[in-house]
Amino acid sequence: MIGDEEQTAIISLLESNVELTAVAAVRVLQEQGVLRANISHSTLSRFIQSQGLTSKERRKIEEKEKTLKFDFFSPLECVQSDVMYGPLIPDEKGKKRKALLMTFLDDATRRILYGRFSFSEKSILFEKGLKHILQSQGMIGRAYTDNGSTFVSNQTRRILDILGITLSHTKPGRPQGKGKQERFFRTVRDQFLRPLDISTVKNLDDLNARFNTWLECEYHRSPHRGLKEYMTPIDAWVAKASHIKPVSQGVDLDRIFLHLLSRKVYKDSTFTLGGTLFEAPSILSGKRISILFDPTPPVNRVLVSHEGRDYGYAQVVDTYANTRVKRSSSRSSDLQSEEEYSELPVNLTATNMGAK
């Protein structure tokens, strides 16, 4: 059995010395007095395998990091995002569910610009993180995600295109740059989740509060071996803060991050969205309109526009009428679930979105 402190020491030494074998690392730590008990080869081997710390795996991660190591200098020039599977946490009904951690890592400084545990990896959560960074930090140059990311939808791509943010993906078989996120997630597991008594975590809000405390008080203020002179992420950020580009004045982020869809208005001046019936101005009866809305449920504010002109917010029709329209076969094709919002064609242009 390897104690927690001994595990941390072994992991730290192996990560900072890629060519060092596990056996040699143990010997060094024993000579330093960090490890006092003898560790059997089988125990050590199982531990190294479970942590993904074999020489082969460590060399792979180092090669991934080298690919983008000198490509990005300025904060927000490249922001990487990925998802990590976390612990089982009680939901609002008390049922334990797998929590997922979505993070946005600044490539140049290793600062975590946004990180939150949730029970899904929907695109609206990714968009929420992007919007938070743009509002609180500045303009993002490039968003870098896994090639198979399920949280980047057509709506997300449309938003990024409006803002002029380049979306880059890891290439299949050669996920360069991904090592930085993988290393951070390993740090989360080893330094945040491992010491955490999961049984005391009440819910997602509790877990996120603890994670943010650890992030700001420990991770951001600890020397990072991937940074020049082992700077801390927060010091690296401050040192390069003058290179941050603000979001241009006149850019309406609230409007840009609304989802955009097309709908046909029925003869009775109504249309449906996500199974809810809305009433549009009667002048739009029979016309195809564009609708803008915040996709975060419940969706009850829908902005209507037609041929570049805004017509204000559509009104939700009463509940009884909604039950009738859901049974109507003539309108069933327009009923869509929340998951379907973000999978519609990206060619719905945003000519009146307010971006400059």
pTM, two decimal places? 0.72
Cβ neighbours of residue 29 closer than 8 Å, sequence gap 6 or more: 6, 9, 10, 13, 35
Neighbours of 248 (CB within 10 A): 11
The secondary structure of the chain in percent helix, strand, coil, rounded to multiples of 5, reads 40, 20, 40
DSSP string, 147-201: TT-TT--HHHHHHHHHHTPEEEEPBTTB-TTHHHHHHHHHHIIIIIITTS-GGG-
**pLDDT tens, residue by residue, 77-102:** 999 999 999 999 999 999 999 999 99
- Sign of the CA dihedral running 220, 223, 224, 229: positive
Judge whether 26 and 47 are in contact, CB under 8 Å: no
- Dist CA 182 CA 130 (whole Å): 20
**14 contacts 58 by C-beta, under 8 angstroms:** yes
- pLDDT tens track, the chain, 356 positions: 677 777 878 887 887 677 788 888 888 888 877 777 788 888 888 888 888 888 888 777 766 655 545 458 899 999 999 999 999 999 999 999 999 999 999 999 999 999 999 998 889 999 999 999 999 999 999 999 876 567 789 999 999 999 999 998 765 444 455 678 889 999 999 999 999 999 999 999 999 999 999 999 999 999 998 898 889 999 999 999 999 999 999 999 999 999 999 999 999 999 999 989 999 999 999 999 999 999 998 998 999 999 999 999 999 997 555 555 554 444 544 433 333 343 333 333 333 333 33
Which strands make up the sheet holding 288-293, listed edge to edge?
Answer: 259-264, 288-293, 302-306, 309-316, 276-279, 270-273
d(CA 169, CA 84): 17
CA Rg, the chain, in Å?
A: 25
Strand partners, 88: 98
The residue among 82, 78, 54 whose CA lies nearest residue 68 is 78
Q: What is the DSSP letter of 74?
A: S
